[in-house]
Amino acid sequence: MVEITLAYQGDLRTRCEHGPSGTVLHTDAPVDNQGRGESFSPTDLVATALGSCMLTIMGIVGERHGIDLSRATVKVVKHMVADPKRRIGRLEVEVRVPGLENSAHRERLERAALTCPVHATLGDRVEMPVSFVWEA
């Protein structure tokens, strides 16, 4: 169990504190939803959670199999929809891993990324096309 404490700061902003570590982050509503867009929006954090979860699970598998992922990156592009209600409609994910020639490792890492808990949680509710770019 992890406790996260949030407090409304006014002006459509929140302060979020991670209980175990004390790390603090702030959110701000996006410009297209009455905010200033000066920090992550709550839905930006969902997109961020997906990308960081995929990289983390890939990292666990990488460490287990001696795969260097120190240069791996993920880009997530969030698309909002408004019909029938405002929500995340699509999260386009691009995973880039330079210098990985071994196809068995590639398959392991792809499987790991696609089974991360955030991906599983969002499931069929959000479109999540994922592409993997294996750079030489």
Parent domain of 129? 42-135
Q: What's the average model confidence in pLDDT over 106-122?
A: 96
Considering the domain architecture, whether residues 46 and 99 belong to the same structural domain is answered as yes
Given a cut of 80, whether residue 136 has pLDDT beyond it is no
Given a cut of 80, whether residue 51 has pLDDT beyond it is yes
Sign of the alpha-carbon torsion through 30, 117, 108, 56: positive
Which among 49, 26, 29 has a CA at the least distance from the CA of 41? Answer: 29
Measured between alpha carbons, how far is 19 from 103 in angstroms, rounded to an integer?
Answer: 40
For residue 66, the domain's CATH number is: 3.30.300.20
- In total, how many domains does the chain have? 2
List, in sequence order, the alpha helices (H) in the chain.
Answer: 42-65, 103-114, 117-122
Considering the domain architecture, whether residues 15 and 67 belong to the same structural domain is answered as no
